[in-house]
Amino acid sequence: MKGAVGVFSDLLAFVLEMAALGFLAWWGWSAVDPVALRVALAVAVPGAAATVWGLFAAPKARFRVPVAGVLVVKALVFGGAALALAGVGHGTAAVVFAVVAAVNTAMVTVSRRSGGGLAVR
């Protein structure tokens, strides 16, 4: 059975994943001037990140890859989200997000690898 820390870590992981998609959309909306391109980037960038995550990093991912591969996908998505947040003018928040995402990813990975999480992923 999972303890309160494990439940909190999994919940925080989900919140960070959703925040990453939001930051990518925000950057997409802010990156260009024409509204059509804003909408396209605000949808396509987080959509691409969510697709890659779902294919390779989600607990029920379509393609099973080694843990190192999952961590690469997470680093790309979280790193891209941190860069996106910095790109819209929130550098300090970007650093905080990146640190929290890295620490939480490490905790969840260790927990799941030891059998304490939702899936060994």
**pTM for the model:** 0.89
CA distances to 10, 14, 35, 38 from 20, rounded to whole Å, are: 15, 10, 22, 18
**Tokens 């930051």 sit on residue:** 23
CA-to-CA distance for 97 and 82, rounded, in angstroms? 6
Over range 49-75, report the average pLDDT.
96
- pLDDT tens-digit series, residues 91-113: 999 999 999 999 999 998 888 77
CA-to-CA distance for 24 and 18, rounded, in angstroms? 10
Confidence of residue 115 (pLDDT cuts 50, 70, 90): low
Confidence of residue 119 (pLDDT cuts 50, 70, 90): very low
Q: Is the pLDDT of residue 1 over 70?
A: no
